[in-house]
Amino acid sequence: MIRTIMLLLLCLCTCFLSSCVETKYLEKLGLITAVGYDQAEDEKITGTIVLYQFNPAMEDVEKILISKSKTSKGIRLSQNLETDHRLVSGQLRITVYGRELAEKGISHLVDTLERDSSIGNMVYLTIADTTAEQILNYQMTERTSNMGTYLYNLVKQNVESELLVSPTLQEFITDYGSVGKDPLLPLLKASDGKVGVAGFALFTRDKFIKEIKKDKIFYIRSLMEDYNAGSVEVELPLEKVKPYLSNPHLGQENDKVYIMIDSIKSSHMIKTEKKSTPSFNVKLKIESRILEMSEEMKLSDPKALSLLEDEISDYIEKNIKEMILMLQDEGTDPIGFGMEYKSIRGNEDLSREKWDKLYKDASFHVKVENKIIRTGVID
């Protein structure tokens, strides 16, 4: 009897509680999948949002809304007055910041995202090569059902393929809030009927300061995260490998040989000591497979293989050194050398300002070891 009464009370409570939950009909909602922000005149911001609007009578409808205000919340209020659908942020997947705005700083806009409880911390952050409005409103040759979903999938699959450093809201906030590490975000570009990743945006604090080409990300990412299946194209002097070419006459018109290595498994180590002037020892170990070569080599010869391993190691080492020195000159630290230096100081405080000064005078010693474990698919 008691069990029956308890069950009845539970059912009644469930009914009462469910009646308190706000009912949201999909047909009445505008699901925001992407937002973009650009610098406008009079200290205003241009906000662009991409919506999914459900309509049972037809395919899902994409809609773009563009408004101006001095705050992101002001933009949302204005956009609510331009649609008969209730705007909700629970499906937001990606945010795009225009170049000019990003150069002035985006922390205030990122902070607004973080404070919105309806938005998850796995939202991707990106920078537009020109404006966010151009990216989100671009008409691609292959029409996508929703630009927000397309951009999210674009970034997601490249992160999973180890071609991008994951640019989530949580990771940006962590890097921005850390002494000795700066954010790094994908740079989007629209051209020739396509929208894709054209490079990467380097930051000092929350300000976009410089872009790097997409083929250079390996030399940063390899010191941030270990690869499980990475790839990189290397360029070697033809003279170095000429004695081992299968047909030396084929390479007479070129002075370089190009090699694509993939299936890269890597491990990195960054060590420093507690000195007044920081000095870092950077070691990168790589296991790789040769996927393609612009010239045919006698890779069955152990000497040829050993030479190739050494030359590839030297090439990657040289590029990493150049990348680190460029980052140092620009005053940005996406790799996190400052965090490594701070970790050995114990209880000694390290401010951003102090690390900025130390970073300028820091020295770096790089060593790369590459081992070729396969020279082709049929090995």
Amino acid at 263: S
* Average pLDDT value for residue range 85-112: 92
User: Per the domain annotation, does 15 fall within a domain?
Assistant: no
236 and 172, same domain (yes or no): no
Using the 3D structure, point to which of 168, 186, 216 is the last residue of a domain. 216
Pair 233, 334 in one domain? yes
Looking at the domain assignment, is residue 3 inside a domain? Answer: no
Assess whether 81 and 206 both reside in one domain. Answer: yes
Would you state the pLDDT for residue 231? Answer: 92
| 6-38 pLDDT tens trace | 555 555 555 555 544 444 555 677 789 999 999
Going by the DSSP 8-state scheme, the letter that residue 7 receives in this structure is H
Of the residues 169, 189, 216, the one at which a domain ends: 216
| Confidence check: pLDDT of 222 > 60 | yes
**So what's the pLDDT on residue 372?**
93
Tell me the pLDDT tens digit for each residue of 277-333: 999 999 999 999 999 998 888 888 899 999 999 999 999 999 999 999 999 999 999
CA distance 322 to 122: 32
pLDDT of 378 reads 43
pLDDT digits (tens, 9 = 90+) for 150-192: 999 999 999 999 999 999 999 999 999 999 999 999 999 999 9
Same domain, 224 and 199: no
* Highest-confidence segment of 41-55, 110-124, 296-310, 312-326: 312-326
Q: Which of the two residues, 73 and 250, has the higher pLDDT score?
A: 73
Name which of 174, 164, 285, 162 is nearest 214 in CA terms: 164
Range of the domain at 146: 26-216
Q: Look up residue 35 and give its two tokens.
A: 């937002």
Q: Are 245 and 155 found together in one domain?
A: no
Query: 212 and 81 in one domain?
Result: yes
Q: Write the CATH number for 238.
A: 3.30.300.210
What total number of domains does the chain contain? 2
Which residue type sits at 2? I
Point out the domain boundary residue: 196, 216, 236: 216
Q: Are the C-beta atoms of 282 and 341 separated by less than 8 Å?
A: no
**379 band by pLDDT with thresholds 50, 70 and 90:** very low
Residue 7 covered by a domain: no
Amino acid symbol at 208: F
Q: Is this prediction's pTM over 0.85?
A: yes
